[in-house]
Amino acid sequence: MKSTGKQQADAGRAADEHAVELWGRVINGFEVTNRRIHGAINERFSLSEAEVQVLLNLHRQPDFRAPMAQLARAASFSTGGFTKLADKLTQRGFVSRAACPDDRRVTFLEFTPEGRRLADELTGLAARLTREAFIDVLGQDTAEVMAEAMSELVRANTPPDDQGSAVTLPR
């Protein structure tokens, strides 16, 4: 029995709807989980998602300091937008700026003692919440596969001229 043009169109439409639904499920799962994690973090520390991302990234850096441009790329911020965020974190006493001794164009962001204590607590809470809302729900193996799949999407979908700014977080 030959399929009709209508049957082929219906099959194509069903495949399209399934593809969109798959991506929607990924996005919904991420958004709900991310809201849960960041809601608990915000309740405890009164930090925005962007502030949390910068503090956690800075906490993973050698000597707890990094060039502002690197942190801006990691947070997907423009330089100007990141400067405002760095100003806010500086005003709150969590970070300070330091000139690079080798290159006057580079400014480092580094923790103050208070910021380091906050980042230690924040990292602990973020780890606990991530385990509860992500790893414990999916299991360690599935969480690892999912994280690697997301890293592959970053690699595959970052334009070639922007490859240097794609950030892969340490494992």
On whether residue 65 sits in a domain, the answer given is yes
On whether residue 164 sits in a domain, the answer given is no
On whether residue 108 sits in a domain, the answer given is yes
Inter-residue contact 47 to 55 (CB < 8 Å): yes
On whether residue 168 sits in a domain, the answer given is no
CA distance 121 to 47: 13
Domain of residue 41, CATH code: 1.10.10.10
Does the predicted model carry a pTM greater than 0.85?
no
Residues recorded for the chain: 171
Structural domain span for residue 95? 7-158
On whether residue 163 sits in a domain, the answer given is no
Q: How many domains does the chain have?
A: 1
Mean pLDDT of successive 10-residue stretches along the chain, which has 171 residues: 77 91 96 96 95 95 92 85 94 95 91 97 97 97 96 89 50 37
Query: In the β-sheet with 65-67, what is the strand arrangement from edge to edge?
Result: 65-67, 107-111, 95-99
